[in-house]
Chain A
């Protein structure tokens, strides 16, 4: 009788093998999420007062992988994004932890911003950083405004603390802005 129950338990848990947890994915060598579509994204129509154009959804599967987001966090510091954006609070560059997205807050928009660069100082990183690292950065940037699930976003860092850990950051509702930049 005991054996039956044990067998049932073991088989049941073995079935979970099939649903391996995406949060813990550690993909060291993989093709990144598709970035082809990103090259054709427009944020708004190309005239003054133009309507905002909805961004086609490009899923960033790195946003479900805690390892990828943590890599994004490491790169954010190592590539000196902190030099202009601080740890999300902004400075020379606009803050990344609020709900204002000058060029759109969708993953595709952020990827485009990183790869193409933006006026007023955002460098273009295409060719400098591989695309998978670009997407990792996108995932991390989104975690700065609390967009990511709590168990995926990073915890507190091993540096001096300046803000809440990304996992405990309340979720902002991104709003796109047509017209003037809104940093400060």
Chain B
């Protein structure tokens, strides 16, 4: 590769920074041009295009999952209801849970927001490994379509979003429903792993000069921790789902007790992934809250170091609590108590984050703009969820409320409170950057209140249902149980929530046309994405920035240096040191390419074929090999270009 010491790479000294010339912008525009048209869509590699696709697709599946939930609530609204039979209901609740976790929460919070925002916040022109990022979107999209086509073909997964064996094994789940579920996992985890690699590389090596680790905005810390969590957690679920697939299609005995297999092995493997997964969903929420609190209290966040250490601790401890999902299985008490201790321990970093946010608000100059409402909603809702989690952490109490609606209430409070409320806050905060127009505030208030009130109506009542004995995953219940009126209230709430989300969608479409023009920095925020026009051009920054503090724009000197020496006539990005952000080298950024799309198609063929026939892998792997070779094959033009621009030091 290119050598690292090049005198042209040093951060320039000149105090006077002329605004970028029209000439320069033109060259950048030409170099970073994104393809247009129908066929061009399949070759885009810029992170803003890919990030937007993730956000839109994941939001669509959020809505679809929500529609399923409303249908489920209709069935449960009264005892012995006949709206949905057990078979349809089983499919709906499984699809609802799986869609929300695998097709919405991780793709939107981690992949969508990450791919869109991270390159802008680090101050570079494109994400690291852009074609891999594009691939991660296509494989995610094909996984979503595959899974939902299953539902339309009466092959919707129907054994719960975690599909415990032996119920999900070949004997008790005939047909291909569970295979569709297991393979959907493979699709989405491949996608998440690919994104994790891109984001980790971008955060570690593409930061603007001056952005040392201790000057990274919280979002970057959170996405970095998340990337490592994804890399360590996803293999566990890939293992468990693949072992299940092998049991079902090929006849292995992993989970067959009669042949020495173990049903608890599945649970351990699944939850070793499953628990970190929910922190993968929750941590982005915390970074969003930090960002919003920083911006709207008009000061640096209090306790930056504590927040960073908390994020990292949650990342680590999150891997040590999984058995709290298995407290009812009869594992030895002493072992279970260790996991109670770990589960309580993870409360500590979360509490530290809460205290730091509250401290920032107390010692700041709060301006309660609309995105802050979602922060308030987060505080209220996530707190309740976290506290009910405290009850669940205790083994004796958990043995009573496990697998009841109490748990359903708990995890909706933490997931919706910890991810969906911050998500809405993030969308109202960053859509102006993405779209160039502000969202409508009046509609926003309707969105918030309908959603907040509906949410509490639905899920607060579920605490009582669980305490009064209503178990989970039941398509109906006996009238004698007296659960009818609580369920009815919960159903009303679900429809209010749906109305709230509908208002958001209306707001989005209205604002695209009629929203107030956002300008570059409507919130006068501190991080680098607010230094570029809204929406950002495809080269992101006309002049690559340097950074002088945690809030790049707030802490910038009057004559903050810019980076010179990075070419603007070809796609080139600056690579910096992982710790200090010192300039290290320059690197080519790949041109648009259709290979990620074709590779995703080939791999989809491999995955889908293996669901129906293990032998098919022999044939379907050939297109995979071909497309991967095509993707990695160096382009003659790019190689010549690089050879012409190499500079060797003596």
Contact = CB atoms under 8 A, between A and B. Distances in A.
Contact of A154 (B145, B171, B252): B171
A37 interface: no
B409 to A, nearest CB: 31
Interface stretch (A85-93, A114-122, A160-168): A160-168
B174 A67 contact: yes
A130 interface: no
B153 A19 contact: yes
Interface in A68-87: 69-70, 73
A158 to B, nearest CB: 4
Interface string A1-43: 1100110010001101101110111101000000000000000
Contacts of B149: 13, 16
A54 B621 CA distance: 44
A183 interface: no
A81 to B, nearest CB: 17
B155 interface: yes
Given A150-B613, A168-B250, A67 B175 contact: yes
B310 interface: no
Contacts of A24: 153-155, 175-177
Interface in B606-630: 612-613
A66 interface: yes
Nearest to A165: B251
Contacts of A26: 87
Contacts of B176: 23-24, 66, 151
Contact of B170 (A17, A19, A157, A164): A157
Interface in B124-180: 145, 148-149, 152-155, 166, 169-172, 174-177
B152 A155 contact: no
B152 A158 contact: no
Given A25-B154, A155-B251, A165-B251, A13 B171 contact: no
**Which interface class (under 10, 10 to 19, 20 to 34, 35 or more) fits A?**
35 or more
Nearest to A20: B154
Contact of B258 (A16, A21, A160, A168): A160
Contacts of B248: 155
A126 interface: no
A53 to B, nearest CB: 34
Interface in B596-650: 612-613
B242 interface: no
B476 interface: no
A156 B253 contact: yes
Contact of A150 (B153, B171, B612): B612
B249 interface: yes
B60 interface: yes
A139 to B, nearest CB: 11
B256 A2 contact: no
Contacts of A25: 154
B170 A2 contact: no
A20 B171 contact: no
Contacts of B250: 168
B572 to A, nearest CB: 29
A115 B253 CA distance: 35
Nearest to B261: A158
A16 B172 CA distance: 27
B88 to A, nearest CB: 10
Contact of B174 (A14, A21, A154, A156): A154
B169 A158 contact: yes
A152 B174 CA distance: 8
A47 interface: no
Interface in A40-71: 66-67, 69-70
A128 interface: no
B259 interface: yes
A157 to B, nearest CB: 5
B362 to A, nearest CB: 44
Nearest to A161: B259
A13 B169 CA distance: 28
B56 interface: yes
B257 interface: yes
Q: Which of B166, B177, B251 has the most CB of A within 10 A?
A: B251
Contacts of B441: none
A156 B256 contact: yes
B401 to A, nearest CB: 30
Given A21-B154, A150-B612, A155 B177 contact: no
B247 interface: yes
Contact of A66 (B60, B152, B174, B258): B174
B440 to A, nearest CB: 20
B535 to A, nearest CB: 14
A128 to B, nearest CB: 24
Contact of A156 (B60, B152, B155, B170): B170
Contacts of A154: 170-171, 174
B145 A2 contact: no
A26 B612 CA distance: 20
15 contacts: A13-B152, A16-B153, A20-B154, A21-B155, A24-B155, A152-B175, A154-B170, A156-B170, A156-B252, A158-B170, A158-B172, A158-B256, A160-B258, A168-B250, A168-B251
Of all A-B residue pairs in the complex, the 6 with the closest CB atoms, nearest first, are: A155-B170, A70-B174, A66-B175, A21-B153, A66-B174, A156-B251
Interface of A: 1-2, 5-6, 9, 13-14, 16-17, 19-21, 23-26, 28, 66-67, 69-70, 73, 150-152, 154-161, 164-165, 167-168
Given A21-B154, A165-B251, 11 more contacts: A13-B145, A13-B148, A19-B153, A20-B152, A21-B155, A67-B175, A155-B169, A155-B248, A156-B171, A160-B259, A168-B250
